[in-house]
Amino acid sequence: MSTESTRLRIKTWICATVVVLSNLFGNFFLKRGMPGELPGPLAYITVLFRPWVSLGVVLLIVWVLSRMALLSWADLSYVLPVTSVGYVLVALAGRVLLQEQITIQRWTGIILIMAGVALVSRSAPQTQLDPKPRAVAAGAGR
């Protein structure tokens, strides 16, 4: 049983990393490619064909799908805090890429988020068994 919980934990970490990074870079590329204003409804369609915007949209689709996959085995009360590490990465990226100042207040917030993530990630990702019997999928690849 402990190999099963180790397997689930590793899979959860890999999937959570994809969730966080696809959201971070998806939003970043979207912002980079978006023009200041969108005149008329047609502009909402044509903007999708800009290279940075389409790359951002693809990454956000990856984000939604990987998050759904993660929720297929992990608890919502686990996924929510653990994926909030993205807020920390946004603040750090602002400092590294855009030379923004990180105030003491922001550092405090970053430390609180990291502490919360550390606490929650110590608990098992899944506290309630799958409603479907496991034997069915046991032989399938991952």
Partner 1 sequence: MKWLLIAVIVAATTVGEVLQAKGMRSHGEIRDFRPGALRRAISALTRNWAVVGGIAGMAISFFAYLRLLAVTELSFAVPATAVTYVLETVLAKYVLKEQVTRLRWAGAGLVVCGVALVSL
| Residues within the interface to partner 1 (CB under 8 A) | 65, 68-69, 71-73, 75-81, 84, 87-88, 91, 105-106, 108-120, 122-123, 127-128, 130-132, 137, 140-142
CB of 43 to partner 1, least distance (A): 14
Nearest residue (CB) to partner 1, 55 versus 71: 71
* Nearest to 124, CA basis, from 30, 44, 6: 6
* CA-based nearest residue to 81, from 10, 8, 2, 19: 19
Minimum distance from residue 124 beta carbon to partner 1 (Å): 9
Q: How is residue 98 written in tokens?
A: 């855009």
Comparing CB distances to partner 1, the nearer of 5 and 123 is 123
Rounded to a whole number of angstroms, the minimum distance from the CB of residue 30 to partner 1 is 12
- Closer of 45 and 137 to partner 1 (Cβ): 137
Please report how close the Cβ of residue 122 comes to partner 1 at its closest, in angstroms.
6
Shortest Å distance, C-beta 49 to partner 1: 20
Residue among 17, 29, 16, 28 at smallest CA distance from 55 = 29
- Cα 52-13-88 angle, rounded to 5 deg: 55
In which residue are the tokens 């994809």 written? Answer: 18
Nearer to partner 1, 2 or 128 (CB): 128
Q: Can you tell me the distance from the alpha carbon of 74 to that of 10, in angstroms, rounded to the nearest whole number?
A: 12
CA atoms within 13 A on the CB side of 70: 26
Q: Which is nearer to partner 1, 25 or 82 (CB)?
A: 82
